[in-house]
Amino acid sequence: MDVVLETRGLTRTFGRVVAADDVNVQIRSGERVGLVGPNGAGKTTFLNLITGYVRPNRGRILYRGTDITGLPPRAITRMGIVRSFQIPQLYPGLTVLENLLLAIAARSGRGLDFWGPLGREHAVAEAMELLGAFQLADYAWRPVGELPEGGRKLLDVAMALALRPTVLLMDEPTSGVSTQDKFGVMEVLMEVLGRAGVTTLFVEHDMEVVYRYAERVLVFHNGRVVADGDPQALFADAQIRRAVLGWE
Amino acid sequence: METALIILTDGLVYASWLFLISAGLTLIYGVLRILNLAHGSLYALGAYAAASVVLLYFDRGLWPMGSYLALLGAALLVGAVAGPLIERGLLQWIYGRDPVYQLLATYALFLILEDLMKLVWGVNPYYAYKPYGLLGIIRLGGIPYPGYSFLLLGVALLAGGSLCFFIRGTRIGRLVVAMIHDPEISAAMGVNVPRVSLLTFTLGAVLAALGGAFTAPMISVVPGLSVEVIVLAFAVVVIGGLGSLEGSAVGALLVGLVRSLMVHRIPELELFAIYLVMAMVLLLRPRGLFGMEEVRRV
Amino acid sequence: MKLRRFGGLILIAGMAGLGLLLPGWSRFLLTLALARGLLVLGVALLMQAGLVSFGQGLFFAAGAYAVGFAARDLGIRDAGLGVALGAGAGLGIAALTGPLLARYRGIFFAMLTLAFSMILYGILVKAYRITGGTDGLRIPPPTFLGWSLPEEHLGSGLYLFTLACTAVMVFLIFRYLRSPLGYTVRAIRDNEVRVEYLGLSVSRALYITVLLVGAMGGLGGALSAMSVGHVDPNLAYWTTSGEFVFVALLGGTGNVFAPLAGSIVFEFLRTYAYKYIPYTWQMGLGLVMLAIVGFAPGGLWSLYELIARRMSGWTWSWKRGV
């Protein structure tokens, strides 16, 4: 399998805090990678660096062989690397459907068109399908504010999916989703992503989710990747469990 | 060489005036985070009050040199009365609201004050030039220069100095600065925010009125003073950095000198010299020379 | 949509009839209100992006003086050409200042627009040989496709022409608001970062919006100039811009008609207030503004919507459906 995403010597400091410390990672196409580690370990910074929200002090990021270091988020999104957020980033002034339609329009290159309507028939159909998959169809015409917390999270992920990513970075996709729904959501997500061959990286604190859906796990600690491999093997290692994951 | 001296002096005098009209504005913004569009009206109030006081004063035939104290008194009176009235009566209801609405509320205040002044003082001009004439002419390198201009310079320096002392030397002053830098933490640490807000706005009002009061003897006091002043004050505040007193001093100096240069060398550009400087600052260093805010989005 | 289109035509026809029936002075006010309404609409559009423009006078004056120069230096008096030139002037200035403006937010955006408009004011005053200085320029009565209207019909002619131009603009803005760009711009106000993360350029979206607002402003300025018959530098002064902002808030910024309705209300209010309470009309305006800020931040239109909603559980908001 090809390496679709690679970081070399990625480093980023904020004052005296080293958020990313010489991170060298190779992600292969289609992989499902869980990013774990205690709070402040640098997982979100890693996502920020890859998506161009933050510039590294040192190091490079390569996407399909092309150097994308320093590119702004919108360029990186257009290239196919899409991200969803830990705290849902939605448009409260628009309806649920409109949020999604905007994402679809952006993907189709129509984001700055000022002539046609936002929701062409097939776009609306696609949006409704996506909403249906996440069981949000009932909320389509309602303002975003009416969504329950878990629903907001799902909409955020749905918007990322609507962009038809090649690589999807999810920041805590199941936080805020009720326990009974978690696995249902992940099943749907993973199935959709698997069928489309999307490479998926997700930051997660829920180890069960990681265990079940990640083929590979990167353990972050103090900005470094201290472990990289099979979730079963990693979680069996007592040292990692205690020191990094805080388990006994 | 004489012209250089004149340009410098002109610049300094104009800078003094600019500082007086902008210091209050930047202080109010820094602490209360409100851009007070009625600031010019407070200036005008000071001017009108000063004019009335001066006319009254000379009617009584009191000691002429004391008229300057009368000017000061008028400014203090206006600030001490209008300040709390406005802060408690209007501003306290709009803290923390959408900045657009804050802007509009102060704009409404400006409109109201304009007509209020028309009602009280009428539309005819007031001339209170006696304090101006008293200081006669001073020869500056052979060129006659009005003595009053130096008084203005003095007043600005005094005001600046007092502010400096107030901020560094007194406890309340330091609280004010703390609030400028971080209002949330200040509140969390027990600073009496409403009291500091009231004090700050009053201080800002006094400064504005001071500018108006000491300008009154130099001009004919008519309706419409506020309109011109507010825009100039804004420009200086933006240049110096919103919320920074040093900024408005340096900004005033910069604009004063640039304008003076224009007036003497390229008169056509004089009118919008200040806006050009402001636009340049906004383009090159948007938060101003000493500003602290985040300004742009990528 | 068909019903709406029909409704729109009826509205236009109604306005046309109304205008022709009104006495001269009221019709003149209505004409002016519509022309200035285009600038208020511009303010409203930018407000939807979360930006307050305190410099609409820039486009207003640009459009107005374009007509003035065209008449004086090129002998052009055709109304259609005049508004085209006006819109072009507004567009040109927007194109120049847009890239800068699109990078700023909040107060700094407002201040920059103010600075630009005051710079234009300064130029208009100082370059008196070209611009006529504070005296301004006279605008001769416009012609329509070569025809000169007799004086008693000129007012009506201008009114209908202004109405037509306004209607066209309203239609365009209607389409704009339902287009992806319109939504993007509103999304920018809500969450700028997410818009970038969708792969869209916020600066570009804002720039295009500024272009639209500029062209519309220039158009309004040209129409106003032709009706008033005179232009002067005050069109670019910050108090003129402030008025546009006030009216935008008076009417509400939620849809296309609110700013225009607000402009009409304001124009009549102002005229009669000035006539009856010349020394206190500003104060009255200020008090009204405070009332709106305090009790109806969405403007008069939101009050209207509130009432309509109460009455029939149905709103006229354009946001309904897609």
Scan for tokens 């804050």, then name that residue.
Answer: B102
Residue C61 has a CB neighbour count (10 Å cut-off) of: 33
Cross-chain CB nearest to C122 (options B100, B115, B271): B271
Is C198 near chain A, with CB under 8 Å? yes
Whether C199 and A163 lie within 8 Å, measured CB to CB: yes
- State the CATH number of the domain containing residue A8: 3.40.50.300
Residue C320 domain flag: no
Label residue B75 by pLDDT band (50, 70, 90).
Answer: very high
Residue A200 token pair: 């998926």
Q: What is the mean pLDDT of residues C203-207?
A: 91
Record: contact C104-B101, CB cut-off 8 A: no
Task: Kindly state whether residues A159 and A180 are assigned to the same domain.
Answer: no
Please tell me the predicted confidence (pLDDT) of residue A244: 63
Tell me: do A95 and A211 sit in the same domain: no
Which CATH number characterizes residue B202's domain? 1.10.3470
Last residue of a domain, one of A128, A148, A164: A164
Q: Could you tell me if A138 and A170 lie in one domain?
A: no
User: Hey, are the CB atoms on C179 and A111 less than 8 Å from each other?
Assistant: no
Is B108 close to C106, i.e. CB distance below 8 A? Answer: no
Best of C97, C108, C114, C125 to mutate (most B CBs within 10 Å, chain B): C108
A170 within some domain: yes
A2-6, A156-160, B58-62: segment of lowest average pLDDT: B58-62
Q: Is residue A85 part of a domain?
A: no
Mean pLDDT of B22-41: 89
Residue B181 pLDDT > 80: no
Determine which of C40, C52, C200, C289 to mutate to test the interface with B (most B C-beta atoms within 10 Å). C289
Name the H helices within chain C: 2-21, 24-48, 57-73, 79-101, 106-126, 128-131, 151-178, 180-190, 192-197, 202-228, 238-251, 257-276, 281-295, 299-312
Task: Name the residue among B244, B280, B267, B278 with its Cα closest to residue B30.
Answer: B244
**CA gap A74, A60 in Å, rounded:** 18
C216: number of Cβ within 10 Å: 27
Identify residue A9 by its one-letter amino acid code.
G
Q: Please give the Cα distance from B179 to B201 (Å, whole number).
A: 13
Considering only CB atoms, C111 lies closest to which of B109, B118, B238, namely: B238
Span A41-58, mean pLDDT? 89
Q: How far apart are CA A9 and CA A187, in angstroms?
A: 34
pLDDT tens-digit readout, A96-153? 999 999 999 888 888 888 777 887 888 889 899 888 888 888 888 888 888 887 788 8
In a domain, B297, yes or no: no
Model confidence at C22: pLDDT above 60: yes
Boundary residue ending a domain (A131, A164, A197): A164
Q: What's residue C224's pLDDT?
A: 94
For residue B142, pLDDT beyond 80 = no
Question: Residue C236 sits in a domain of what CATH number?
Answer: 1.10.3470
CB-CB neighbors (< 8 A) of A158 in chain C: none
Q: Does C175 touch chain A (CB under 8 A)?
A: yes
Q: Which range marks the domain in which residue A46 is found?
A: 1-80+165-248
The model's confidence at residue C308, banded by pLDDT at 50, 70 and 90, is: low
Identify whether residues A140 and A212 lie together within a single domain.
no
Residue A118 C-alpha, separation from nearest chain C C-alpha, in angstroms: 5
Q: Residue B243 pLDDT more than 70?
A: yes
| Same domain? A76 vs A171 | yes
Asked whether residue B295 carries a pLDDT value surpassing 60, the answer given is: no
Nearest residue of chain B to residue C293 (CA atoms) = B101
Residue A173 in any domain: the answer is yes
pLDDT at C92: 96
User: Are C127 and B268 within 8 A, CB to CB?
Assistant: yes
Measure the CA–CA gap between C23 and C213, rounded to whole angstroms: 32
Q: How many domains does chain C have?
A: 1
Above 70 in pLDDT, residue B298? no
Q: Which tokens go with A115? A: 């002539």
Q: How far apart are CA B43 and CA B45, in angstroms?
A: 5
List beta partners, residue C230: C138
What pLDDT, on the 0 to 100 scale, is given for residue C300? 67
B291 occurs within a structural domain: no
Non-local (6+) Cβ contacts of B148 within 8 A are B131, B132, B135, B217, B218
CB contact under 8 A, A77 and C198: yes
Name the percent of chain B lying above pLDDT 90: 21
Domain that residue B154 falls in: 2-284
| Chains in contact with C, counting 3 or more C-beta pairs less than 8 Å apart as contact | A, B
In a domain, C318, yes or no: no
Q: How many structural domains are present in chain A?
A: 2
- What pLDDT is recorded for position C21? 81
**Domain residue limits at C288:** 2-312
A150 shares a domain with A30: no
Quickly state the pLDDT bin for A246 (edges 50, 70, 90). Answer: low
Asked if the Cβ–Cβ distance from B103 to C110 is below 8 Å, we say yes
Domain presence at residue C191: yes
| Nearest CB neighbour to B234, from listed C111, C119, C192 | C111
DSSP designation for A229: E
- Among chain B residues, the shortest Cα distance to C112 is held by B279
Contact check, Cβ <8 Å, A83/C208: no
Could you give the CA distance from residue C71 to residue C221 in angstroms, rounded to a whole number?
Answer: 15
What mean pLDDT, rounded, does chain B reach?
84
Confirm whether the ipTM is greater than 0.85. Answer: no
- Sign, Cα dihedral of A42, A190, A184, A141: positive
Res C313 pLDDT > 50: no
